[in-house]
Amino acid sequence: MKINNKQNVRKTLSWIIVLILLDVLVFLGMIMFDIKKKMLLLIPLLFFFFFVWRILSIRVFNIEITEYILVIKYHHPVSNDLHPVLELPMSEIYDCLIENSMNMIFFKVAINKRDKYRTFCYRLDVINQDQLILLQKVAHSIVKRDKQVNAI
């Protein structure tokens, strides 16, 4: 099963680019109409830097879940090279959790390797509700299966 947010990122990037163009037009209009107040000129610049920061921070993720392996890949929308960030067998997964905090969604994977526990946290940037529900079901089934295997 594959879960990715490529289409959502494309839509978000196109909206951000439209907003950047509108912001630049507003800024140029303020300069053309000779608005000298520094605070009014500062507002479009702040919006511009916020939009550029958002473009730089957005990531496309690809979560591949098979019967035996979990693979999480990240890349920036401009580059097309997917690099595996996490690739591990399902037998090492101790817990999976999807957490909402501060208006962001995080996918947390706790692994147990040689009686040492580690937690990996990945930000899921723009994910639609259907994909989120599917990922929650899969995470729940991974944890449930792991507890059944440990009980045997």
Residues 39, 31: Cα–Cα separation, whole Å: 13
Question: Which two structure tokens, joined as six digits, stand for 123?
Answer: 């930000």
The Cα 148–Cα 17 span in angstroms is: 49
Yes or no: say if 73 and 82 are a contact pair by the CB < 8 Å rule.
Answer: yes
What average pLDDT score do residues 118-133 get?
Answer: 87
CA distance 48 to 42: 10
pTM for the full model?
Answer: 0.77
| Cβ-based neighbour number of residue 41 at 10 Å | 13
- pLDDT tens string 29-38: 888 888 777 7
E strands in the chain: 2-4, 60-65, 69-75, 83-89, 93-101, 104-113, 116-124
pLDDT tens, 78-123? 887 778 888 888 888 888 888 888 888 899 999 888 888 899 998 8
